[in-house]
Amino acid sequence: MHKVGIIGASGYTGYELIKILSRHRHANLEVLNSESLAGKQVSEAYPDFGGSAKFTNFSIDEINGMDLELAFLAVPHGVATKIVPRLKCRVIDLSADYRFRDSSEYERIYKVEHKDRGNQAAYGLPELFRGDIMHATLVANPGCYATGMILSSFPIKGISKYAVFDCKSGWSGAGKSSPYAKDHSLSKDNIIAYNLVNHRHRFEVRQFLPFPLSFTPHIIDTFQGMMITAHIILEGKASAEDVKGMFSEFYKNSRFVKIVDCVPDLHAVQKTNEIHIGGFEIDDNSQILIVSVLDNLLKGASGQAVQNMNIMLGFDEAEGLC
């Protein structure tokens, strides 16, 4: 068994990691660090959990003495850069701290000083960067919206002039401390637009797409899952079938990407590590509509993180995820 750990285990993404790693055939979860819940059973915080695991609060020195092969960091933005330089194992960071090639860009967007400019991370989107992830000691797990937007458009980046991403997500994406988690009436029977033009994931995505893009996120009345509707203005005369064929060819070896013949249904991907991409209709403005659905807590966060771990440690990519 391969020893792994989670630092920041009590949030939504931390709990999803616990559930996946608890059924992983090759990973032994040694560290479940939570400052607020240390010593308590996971089931006290999450009654649906069937195991007997307890939250821990080991120091970094103690963790380094355990000979972990890999640690997941599910900590607030700005914290990972203080932890990564001290860890003596491979790391997957689920925060935004290492997602930007240019740390000054990260500082500008997140308003937090980057404490670890010496470490460069592989961007943890396996469908694009599997080779980099395989050999990396540090992987930056993408943002949930960023995952959906990039996968929804990357195969046609060479024939795209401009994109508008209209995105809707369950309220779990805002985290356990958000107003929506504390007061469900805010999202009940409601749709809430926020960060209309300057959501942080827009800048993350711009690193990988060569065309201008706009992005507006919304919170909807569901706990987990998200839909990305991409309105992409195309260069030239590509047909909808041409575009769909480009996506099918690009993702033909990707276990968790499914190109579908219909408009994707959110229910089909909730509690899975899959993203379904469909729609593929062109209007008379040479604008193609591509609709994608994924689970923001899994393919958009913890499931993708375990997918990255599987690649890094040489396991089957789908281990623990199917």
Instruction: Find the CATH number of the domain harbouring 81.
Output: 3.40.50.720
> Same domain, yes or no, for 192 and 272?
yes
pLDDT for res 298: 98
Question: Looking at the structure, do residues 13 and 124 belong to the same domain, yes or no?
Answer: yes
d(CA 216, CA 167): 6
- Residue 119: inside a domain: yes
Residues 153 and 137 in one domain: no
pLDDT of residue 173: 81
pTM of the predicted model as reported, rounded to 2 decimal places: 0.95
Same domain, 155 and 251: yes
Question: Quick check: is 318 in a domain?
Answer: no
Gap between the Cα atoms of 2 and 103, Å rounded? 32
Q: Is residue 320 part of a domain?
A: no
Q: For residue 163, give the CATH number of its domain.
A: 3.30.360.10
Residue 236 belongs to some domain of the structure: yes
Residues 169 and 225 in one domain: yes
Q: Are residues 166 and 91 in the same domain?
A: no
pLDDT digits (tens, 9 = 90+) for 241-270: 999 999 999 999 999 999 999 999 999 999
- Mean residue pLDDT of the chain comes to 95
CB–CB of 240/246 below 8 Å? Answer: no
**pLDDT cut 70: percent of the chain above it:** 99
Q: Residue 213's domain spans which residues?
A: 145-294
Contact 6, 301 (CB under 8 A): no
Q: In terms of domains, do 149 and 285 share one?
A: yes
Structure tokens, 122: 């592989």
Q: Where are the beta strands (DSSP E) in the chain?
A: 2-7, 27-33, 70-73, 90-93, 122-123, 138-140, 160-170, 191-193, 213-220, 226-234, 257-259, 275-282, 287-294
The answer to whether residue 319 is domain-embedded is no
pLDDT at 181 over 80: no
More confident position, 182 or 167: 167
Given this model, what pLDDT does residue 180 score? 80
Examine the domain organization and report whether 70 and 190 are in the same domain.
Answer: no
Give the H/E segment covering residue 22.
helix 12-22
Known catalytic residues are: 144
- Pair 237, 198: CB distance under 8 Å: no
Is the pLDDT at 174 greater than 90, yes or no? no
Mean pLDDT within 110-115: 92
Q: What is the predicted pLDDT for the residue at 285?
A: 87
Residues 160, 74: one domain?
no
Mean pLDDT to the nearest integer, 176-185: 76
Q: Do the domain assignments include residue 322?
A: no
* pLDDT at position 271 over 90: yes
Q: Does residue 113 belong to any structural domain of this protein?
A: yes
CA distances from 68 to 4, 75, 118, 196, 272 (A): 5, 18, 22, 41, 27
Please indicate, yes or no, whether residues 154 and 88 belong to a single structural domain of this protein.
Answer: no
Residue 182 lies in a domain: yes
**Same domain for 167 and 53:** no
Confidence check: pLDDT of 311 > 90: yes
pLDDT, one tens digit per residue, over 186-236 is 889 999 999 899 999 999 999 999 999 999 999 999 999 999 999 999 998
Q: In terms of domains, do 211 and 134 share one? A: no
For the chain, the domain total comes to: 2
